[in-house]
Chain A
Amino acid sequence: MAIVMIGNPNVGKSAVLSRLTDRPLLVSNYSGTSVEITATQLKSAGKTIDIYDTPGLYSMECESAEQQVINELINSQKVDLILNIVDAVNLKRNLVLTYELLELGIPMVLVINQIDRARQMGIEINCQLLSQILKCEVICFSANTGEGLMELMSLIDKGNKEGKTKDKETGQPVTIIKAEFAGNSCNGNCANCSRSFQEIDSEDLKRAGKAADTARMVTREFGTKSGSWMDKAEKIIDKPFLGTIILLFVAYLAFLALMKFIELSEGPISDLLAPVNSVLEAFILTHLPDSIFTTILAKAVPEGLIIPFTIIMPAMLMVSIIMSLIEDTGLLPRYSVVLERVGSFFGLSGQAVIPLSLGFGCRTPAVMATRILPNQQQRFIAIVLLSVVIPCAATLGILASVIATFEASLMVIMVTMIMTLIILGYVLSRIMSTEEVFIYELPPLRIPLWSNLWTKLKIRFSGFFTEVLPLLLVMSIAVRALIESGLLNHLQSIENITRMLFGIPAEAFAAVLLTIFQRYLAPLILLNLDLSAREATIAISMIALSLPCLPVMVMTVREIGFKGLAKVLAIGMSTSILVGIILNLLLP
């Protein structure tokens, strides 16, 4: 049996799904689109039920990717039941979609979610009356409290028992690709959901009228709204100045939390891994024949495991938690609103402040966090800014010590980095212009459902083991091989070029190139050289504004593919070179 959950954004579809089962297994990605549909399985009476959670939709009439995908799912006749999730508090608008869905003729159950919140606001819905009017089953539900759960489950069981198992061999429109998009369906940007070139016709107006009438008939308002503390908090957050300060502060707190967590966990994890590494190294050396390949493996494998486990893993864990919290509390779209002006300069949604500020802690999970941005172009811009400009904590630390040693000009370096951020962001936004109309729904602030958070966390974090780690290992081996091959020693020959263009010795330039391989080593190479303050300033600027480190590259591949990575690297290298040349010309 196959069930599809359809509803407006922010009604709590994922929360309802979490209630039905706490094991979201698969997230499917329709090839050619970026639409993610979560599929979960429920076992009942010995049969398996597939439940599909779809991204929020205001109307089936719109021509967005989401709607097309949902349409495909329904038309493929895999669907036995539609669960229309509706927001009790916004019945009038939600019912418009309901009426559209009813016209499809597929068995439907209306789940009126957030009934507890409606009650708090003094709204009572007559579910039986609504059921009579719509001629379908209606359940008053709360994902928060579990009200209506038994009723819903028994309805589903009933449908299941009536032998509606479709043969799954026929027509698999859904291919399983990545699992971390689950539960991340709505970022609040309404313009995304309702892309349509159709005018509003009389059918639409009639439906809207019917929806309004129906809503009025079944709703009863009693007493006055009791202003909960969440309402008061919302009023404060939605104030332009105060709200902006609070939101920026939260972004800063997120960055601090990330830093602290990495700091705290690095030590214990390294200690745990040290014996494992020596065992691994010894194992490889003894069991494989003596050769250059073995030496490479022996060094690369432990190396490829240390950094991911000591830094990337805790960072990814913390960022997953932070992202889920910011999404589920309803804060995310507010960033877009508050930073809309600034964001439009960079071609970015205000939400980009989250991954960018996390990038100051560690850029690998920050690249993962760019997923909250509404489209591919913005994700690319954010990833470029993260890879090329934003210095992570490790970089900052080492840069600081190198700056101190050579008495390089901190002011020049900082100004250069800020200017690069602005110019690069501006240029990219003009090249990749996405004319977006700004329409955002601001969901009510709420305390996240822990089960939802846990689900998102599990999915996001499992990606570390299944994708990041293997890729990192492979790339570590490749890199180590490159270093061992002695290719880099041939750089001496380009001493003249580096001197002329950048005013720095060839070894310093090698350090720039080496930032990919060992982010932490690169600046340290400089310490072995004898550089003037001027030379050091230029070299450090070039290092700070160049290529991302290996884990970031791996994450970038995961997000935008190898082609995307190639573009990022090209931009990084050009930026670094341009900065070097310009600084060489400008500095006295």
Chain B
Amino acid sequence: MKLKDLKPGQKAKVIKVDHNGNLTRRLFEIGIMPGVELNMISHHPFKGPVVFELGNATFALGQRAAAVVEVDKIESD
């Protein structure tokens, strides 16, 4: 599923970042690459940015950037 489809509070693991030149590189630099875990915090309405936690840092991605990240939900026990 895409990053933007995660619900607030859900944990997920990044499985793939779509090939999008520039964008992929930028996401990589902030730490988004296959294998990392992140924690969805919130969505902003009207297709606004999504806010999530990666490691100990918090990031906001616009819809365009978020659409490029494929994740797998991690079910919490």
On A, residues with C-beta under 8 Å from B are: 58-59, 62, 89-90, 92-93, 96, 121, 123, 190-191, 193-200, 204-205, 208, 234, 238-240, 333, 336-338, 340-341, 437-444
Contacts and interface: CB of A to CB of B under 8 A. Distances in A.
Q: Which label, helix, strand, loop or mixed, suits the secondary structure of the B interface?
A: mixed
B25 A440 contact: no
Nearest to A337: B60
Contact of A196 (B25, B31, B43, B46): B25
B29 A337 contact: no
A96 B27 CA distance: 14
A415 B25 CA distance: 45
Given A92-B31, A92-B55, A341-B48, A440 B60 contact: yes
Given A240-B45, A437-B65, A62 B60 contact: no
A437 B58 contact: no
B25 A437 contact: no
Contact of A93 (B30, B51, B58, B62): B30
Given A93-B31, A195-B22, A199-B25, A341 B61 contact: no
A337 B61 CA distance: 9
B33 to A, nearest CB: 6
B56 A89 contact: yes
Contacts of B49: 337, 340, 438, 440
Given A340-B44, A440-B60, A442-B60, A191 B26 contact: yes
A200 B22 contact: no
Contacts of A90: 55-57
B26 A338 contact: no
A240 B46 CA distance: 11
Contact of B42 (A121, A199, A204, A239): A239
Contact of B59 (A199, A341, A439): A439
A54 B29 CA distance: 18
Given A90-B56, A93-B57, A194 B25 contact: yes
Interface in B16-52: 21-31, 33, 41-49, 51
11 contacts: A89-B56, A121-B56, A200-B28, A208-B33, A238-B51, A337-B49, A338-B48, A437-B22, A437-B62, A442-B51, A442-B59
A441 B42 contact: no
B25 A438 contact: no
Given A337-B60, A340-B48, A442-B58, A190 B42 contact: no
B7 interface: no
Contact of B30 (A121, A198, A341, A439): A439
Contacts of A444: 58
Contact of B25 (A121, A198, A208, A336): A198
B38 to A, nearest CB: 13
B31 to A, nearest CB: 5
B42 A240 contact: yes
Nearest to B45: A240
A141 to B, nearest CB: 17
